[in-house]
Amino acid sequence: MIAIGILGYGSRAPSAETLALLANHPEVCALLIVWNAPNTEVSAILHRLNQAAPKTVIIENTENLGSAGGYKCLIEHFRNYEHSEYLFLLDDDLQPKPDCIDKLLHAAHSLSSPLDNTLLLAYRPKLPEMHDLVSKKIGICRPKPGACVAFHFMNLIKQHREPVDYCENELAFSIESATWGGLLIPRAALPRLGLPREDFFLYAEDSELTYRFTQNGGKIFLVPDAEITDTEPAWNTVGGNISNLR
């Protein structure tokens, strides 16, 4: 069984379509939703959702704890769901394709790497970092010198790249770090993974934590067939345009 962990922020309302898709999946036993500093309208939506969906657990943070604090909260709450073998993490603007969870679980059961030493990552075609990982197939995608994560002028130029059509029959390939969005964490891997550094607050704490995981002997596998759609693409999205900067 799998628990879904979703992190949201402020006034952006959760997607009813995405939540329904996830809640109806036969392998999903819980929807854990952490919302940083929701406004009154979003708080009311979350309250109604909690009443309507028995699988849903809502955690509202009165202040914005950033992505580091928010995902730390999700991981800590997941520990209470001992019957859930996996935690699947999502940002509030991500929508997995209907077969995404099945493809990730299939990979987890098919790979020879033990679950206490393994993380899996779904593929987000619009994310520049993942575009580079899949197109180059080298498993390494580090920030450019002088850049704040992906905020570099060269990424603005590169945003006109077309998404990669990954058509090779490769179940998964090893990478050195991962994003929060689309990360599948086996319960057995939690002791090795640990928790994110809250002093990073908003950026790079996912890369730092997962890089530390692989440097300590862990394995992370990107599963290209398990796709997620960014419903609100980043400013430097692949195939995007200058309007994404606003």
pLDDT digits (tens, 9 = 90+) for 148-205: 555 554 554 444 444 444 434 467 888 888 989 999 999 999 999 999 987 776 678 8
For residue 209, pLDDT over 90 is answered with: yes
CB 107 within 8 A of CB 221: yes
Give the CA distances from residue 178 to residues 120, 143, 207, in Å, rounded to whole numbers and listed in that order.
9, 13, 6
Query: What mean pLDDT comes out for the span 1-5?
Result: 94
If you ran DSSP here, which 8-state letter would residue 162 be given? P
For residue 246, pLDDT over 70 is answered with: no
Nearest to 15 by CA among 87, 92, 97: 92
pLDDT digits (tens, 9 = 90+) for 43-75: 998 888 888 777 888 999 988 888 899 999 999
Mean pLDDT of the chain: 81
For residue 31, pLDDT over 50 is answered with: yes
Model confidence, pTM: 0.83
Angle at which helices 66-78 and 205-215 cross, to 10°: 50
CB 35 within 8 A of CB 58: yes
For residue 9, pLDDT over 60 is answered with: yes
Using pLDDT thresholds of 50, 70 and 90, give the confidence band for residue 26.
very high
CB 229 within 8 A of CB 121: no
The string of DSSP codes covering 116-153 is GGEEEEEE-TT-HHHHHHHHH-SS---PPTT-BTTB-H
Query: Which has the higher per-residue pLDDT, 3 or 241?
Result: 3
Q: Which two tokens stand for residue 132?
A: 């580079």
Q: Provide φ and ψ at 176, rounded to 5°.
A: -95, -15
For residue 27, pLDDT over 80 is answered with: yes
